């Protein structure tokens, strides 16, 4: 994702640029929508426009999606496909750090196409 460059990808996991990728998800209590979600959304947009993730990490960022839900609003940072778990983790830590998300709040990495281990448990990263 690059400021000033329009992309034809859509925020759907079926899109070619998203296939095989995943997303870092921050879930927010809907009661805190005005205070937290709006602020996180604006801050993240400004960070992406300003290339705060750096060119090397931004090359793996596909976009951002906000979902307003009854059980918890979600702010998701979508990533392109990579098998580099360390890179995924670095982007997640940077996402959490740049947005000043408190340490007691977790973000979760979810694959668009769920991957499972040998015991049929969904593989996720949690920071």
* Distance, first Cα to last Cα, the chain: 23
Confirm whether 71 is domain-assigned: yes
**For the chain, how many structural domains are there in total?**
1
Instruction: Return phi, psi of residue 48, to 5°.
Output: -70, -40
Domain contains 6: no
Count of Cβ atoms closer than 10 Å to residue 99 Cβ = 18
For residue 88, the enclosing domain spans: 22-126
pTM beyond 0.85: no
Q: How far is CA 23 from the centre of its chain?
A: 4
Helical H runs in the chain? 38-49, 54-58, 85-98
1 belongs to a structural domain: no
118: domain CATH number? 3.30.760.10
Is position 92 within any domain?
A: yes
Residue 7 lies in a domain: no
- Residues 75-101 have pLDDT tens digits of 999 999 888 999 999 999 999 999 999
């Amino acid at each position: 994702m690059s400021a000033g460059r329009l992309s034809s990808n859509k925020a759907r996991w079926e899109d070619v640029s998203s296939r095989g990728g995943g997303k870092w998800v921050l879930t927010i209590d809907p009661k805190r929508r005005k205070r937290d979600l709006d602020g996180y959304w604006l801050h993240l947009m400004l960070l992406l426009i300003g290339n705060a993730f750096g060119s090397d990490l931004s090359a793996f960022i596909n976009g951002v999606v906000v979902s307003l839900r009854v059980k918890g609003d979600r702010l998701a940072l979508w990533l392109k496909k990579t098998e580099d778990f360390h890179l995924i983790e670095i982007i997640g830590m940077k996402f959490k750090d740049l947005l000043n998300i408190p340490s007691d709040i977790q973000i979760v990495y979810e694959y668009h196409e769920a991957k499972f281990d040998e015991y049929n448990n969904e593989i996720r990263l949690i920071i």
